[in-house]
Amino acid sequence: MRILKKDNRFYLISMLTALALCVLWVVFVKTVPYSDFDYYYDLAKKISEGGSFGDTYTSVGYSIILGFIFSIFGKGIIVGEIFNLILTAIGYLLMYNLIKKINISETGKKMIFIIFVFFPANIFYNSIIGVEILFTMLLLLITNIYFSNNKFKYVFIGILAGVENMIKPFFIVFFFVIFLVEIIIDKKLLKPMVNSMIVLILTCVVTAPMVYRNTKLVGQFTYVSNNNGIVLYINNNSQNTKGRWMAAADVENSIISTDKYKEANMTQKNSKIYFLPTIWQGLVVLFKVCF
């Protein structure tokens, strides 16, 4: 491997040092799955036992992959943490390979690499059963493929973007990122449009089985997940002046206490229509706080 060469010793030492810190963090900082992290963990255990993919509340791509890992190596937080460490190491190698393709000074490349491998979140998240490390690794893989000369790269990107979309539902817009980048660089329309459409179509193909499953489960069209409405409500209601998580039930005259909300299905409960008035109030409060 190129990173083992003498000229690249700096990157190898940096990577091994950062990995050592990640291992020490996992060993000495004990974490317990909580909230969404607990949901991912419990769902992964059920999937490893042949259970269902949960409800439609949040995206389950990470839990499906972790459940597969659990089915092979056993269920346990330590298995998830080791999986994170492996993903982190792969991410470091992908980052190294990526910066070697960037046309900047060697000093600049080293600074970027150091910032990435020692970035606190890239260390801390190794002890958390969450989507972040897997999502980051796959994003780096997609980026490496994009800058490669592989003639099927848009096919591979589309498939991986579909996996990313199962982990973070907003990733469906990645095709548009490719379109913008290529239209700016190439100053042409047709080729960027074709390439971005390949990515979009394959992303949709990969995501389609989960969308079908969710739609059948709920009884109306349901995307990869449908917690967007309640998340907006939690972060933007008129009593949330700091814009961070709070229990929806703690909001005065909370919408989740209404009969209309209780009688709705999961997709209807998370419809933005329910939350627009409260979101607007939250934005007004945020504006007052900032200005």
- What digits encode the pLDDT tens for the residues 12-31? 999 999 999 999 999 999 88
pLDDT of residue 291: 45
pLDDT of residue 82: 96
Beta carbons of 202 and 159 less than 8 angstroms apart: yes
> What is d(CA 71, CA 114) in angstroms, rounded to the nearest whole number?
35
For residue 72, report the phi and psi dihedrals to the nearest 5 degrees.
-95, -45
Total Cβ atoms within 10 A of residue 144? 16
Which residue is associated with the tokens 């059963």? 129
Hey, what amino acid is at 103? N
**Residue spans of the chain under pLDDT 70:** 1-4, 6, 228-229, 231, 235-237, 242-244, 271-291
pLDDT of residue 1: 60
Beta carbons of 130 and 167 less than 8 angstroms apart: no
Beta carbons of 14 and 113 less than 8 angstroms apart: yes
Strands (DSSP E) contained in 116-270 are none
Give the 3-state secondary structure of residue 256.
Answer: helix
Give the 3-state secondary structure of residue 103.
Answer: coil
Total Cβ atoms within 10 A of residue 276? 13
> What is d(CA 227, CA 249) in angstroms, rounded to the nearest whole number?
15
The residues near 119 (Cβ < 8 Å, ≥ 6 apart) are none
Judged by phi (left if over 0) then psi (alpha if -120 to 50, else beta), residue 219 lies in left
Tell me, rounded to whole angstroms, the distance of Cα 23 from its chain centroid: 22
pLDDT of residue 59: 84
Give the 3-state secondary structure of residue 223.
Answer: coil
pLDDT in tens, 187-233: 888 999 999 999 999 999 999 999 999 888 888 888 888 776 676 77
> Would you state the structure tokens that stand for residue 32, as one six-digit string?
């317990």
